[in-house]
Structure 1
């Protein structure tokens, strides 16, 4: 009777050792995190602040023009090849916009390229505000946060010696936020005018990229980035790679390993028209019945007090790591 427990103990011990060996083997087979430079959340925060200091960046305004000039100057200062793509488009309320997509290319001759993007314009009305609905949004999070992160990515890449052997194109899409899903008759709800234009008229003939990553509403306190629905549908492998990278860096509290809703955003045109697999890192709260996005979305409270350097760091460091993993052929 005493031998049976002993045999069971030996079996369990042997099984446990086998399981441990298998886990260790799987860990060894996973790509290692390659060495990558640090992303400065303080620098990114200052880039967000600088945009907000211009005031709302609504197309057809002096503030919009001035901020656009600042973005161009910064990209050039970091050694990126800059292309300004101007266009005109008509909004759902028949306003003719003078748009400007701003493209900065790092290592422009490299054949392997990654596309990073955010929109830089502000919404012309605060329709989700409980009091004043006709005031333009300051857009610290809904626009400026993503641009600030990408400016810091440009600064980091330009400062590395030797530079990573990969091409990175940073696009600041214009005229994203002048839409109305109820009044516009197209599939984009009147939004994403700049990305639609670029996707049909790419800045370089026959331009393509291995994949793209869009940032939107990427800097708020307590941000949660679920796996956006269209991103999973059209570029699931890219979603998994980015979320795996974030998890390996310790940012799984921001990058939630669950599927969220499908959001009409700039990545849609890039996928459908330009045929480049692009995902969207966007702050959503899919289990909240009253609010899909961050609390200050499309209100007068989308200000700097709600921007958190920790969130900027989580997103920015993840992007830097993704770029370096791809440069070394070690995508996670």
Structure 2
């Protein structure tokens, strides 16, 4: 005769089996779930402040070498860095432009924690192109250079401000050098200036005159940071930053570090995990000078054109500057530095 409770035996066995499977699945899911890497504790980058610094530069007028606006902007940048307590040096030089003009120029070097042995360099250029040669209507007009120049300096100034107000216990483990090049954008573009003559006939690059001079006369002397990051055209709305060819060739580990940090911070819609052709920019010469440097530069991720529509046109004004882009770049670079 069967007990009236005999049905409980298979039922209990089934429940135990299901429960066991559930626990096993939970354990398996826990074991295989990817871990989110812990982010370095870095200050919050203030995009409003970076935007204000960008707008202030533009308000001086086009920052073309030999102009009053250029001199006034340079003085203001120097005063801002000094006001943040950084050690500041100016590197004056003269260089001949492609049209034969001698450009009175200066590179600006500001150091945070200059006593630190390990260092990271943040590069940008602070001048503007004297003519909008890609503009369909105003080809000879000077540029505001809001993204192409001012945005990189704006981010650098905000980083300097944030570093200067941190207590010693919250300072990064490396010193940071902000090196701003002059006379970067006064070059000859044969595709848009074929009616003009390039008077530089010795094979010297007509672009990046400030970084060329610095590379041959490094300040500080014997400068040898762990790596450098060049900020060029880093403020426009919907900016896209791909992994530029020379950057990958010269410092792939730094490219990986920055792009992975951007992804972990939620900025992968700006920092694209795709390759881009090399570009003639200041990092060409900092790399030649022995500073492993990557370039964060806005370009078109698809199509034949490399640069966005605003490049070297009068459209490069404050109307295209987006605080979200400034935040994405500034927070990524700042957090990368705090990860050292």
TM-score, normalised via structure 2 length = 0.87
The alignment covers a number of residue pairs equal to: 312
Report Cα offsets for 1:180-209 as digits up to 9, x if no partner.
143466777411010111111111221110
* 2:103 aligned residue: 97
Residues 274-322 of structure 1 deviation map (CA, whole Å, 9 limit, x = unaligned): 1111000000114122x32122111111110110000000000011101
Conservation of the 8 A alpha-carbon contact between 2:240 and 2:301 = no
Question: CA 1:186/1:320 → structure 2, altered by over 3 Å: closer, same or farther?
Answer: farther
Corresponding position of 2:319? 305
Cα deviation, residue 221, structure 1: 0.4
Which residue does 1:283 correspond to in 2?
298
The corresponding residue for 1:7 is: none
Q: How does 1:226-265 map to 2 (within 5 A)?
A: 226-265=242-281
The separation in 2 between residues aligned to 1:325 and 1:278, in whole angstroms, is 17
Please, which of 138, 142, 149 is the counterpart of residue 148 of structure 2? 142
Once the 2 structures are TM-superposed, how far is the Cα of residue 239 of structure 1 from its aligned partner? 0.3
C-alpha distance in structure 2 between counterparts of 1:14 and 1:165, whole Å? 43
Match of 2:234 in 1: 218
In structure 2, C-alpha distance between the alignment counterparts of 1:238 and 1:70, rounded to whole Å: 31
Residue correspondence of structure 1 range 156-175 to structure 2 within 5 A: 156-162=162-168, 163-175=171-183
- Contact kept, 8 Å, 1:261 with 1:286, in 2: the verdict is no
Question: Does the 8 Å CA contact 1:181/1:189 hold for their aligned counterparts?
Answer: no
**Residues 96-135 of structure 1, C-alpha deviations (whole Å, 9 max, x = no match):** 1111000100000100000001100000111000011111
Which of 78, 85, 96 is residue 84 of structure 2 equivalent to?
Answer: 78
**1:93 to partner: Cα distance:** 1.6
1:37 equivalent in alignment to 2:14? no
Maintained 8 Å contact 1:116/1:213: yes
Unaligned regions of 5+ residues in structure 1, if any? 1-9, 327-332
Query: How much does 1:57 deviate?
Result: 0.2
Out of 159-168 and 49-58, give the one that drifted further.
159-168
For the 8 Å contact 2:120–2:176, the answer to whether it is kept is yes
Q: Aligned match of 2:184 in 176, 182, 189?
A: 176
| 2:115 aligned with 1:109 | yes
Q: CA RMSD in A?
A: 2.2
Q: Counterpart of 2:339 in 1: which secondary structure?
A: helix
Alignment partners' CA distance in 1, 2:210 and 2:298? 21
Q: 1:180 to 1:36 in 2, by over 3 A?
A: same
Distance in 2, matches of 1:189 and 1:255, equals 29
What CA distance in whole angstroms lies between the structure 2 residues aligned with 1:71 and 1:236?
A: 31
Q: Secondary structure at the match of 2:45?
A: coil
Q: Comparing 185-194 with 96-105, which one deviates more in the overlay?
A: 185-194
Alignment of 1:111-130 (within 5 A): 111-130=117-136
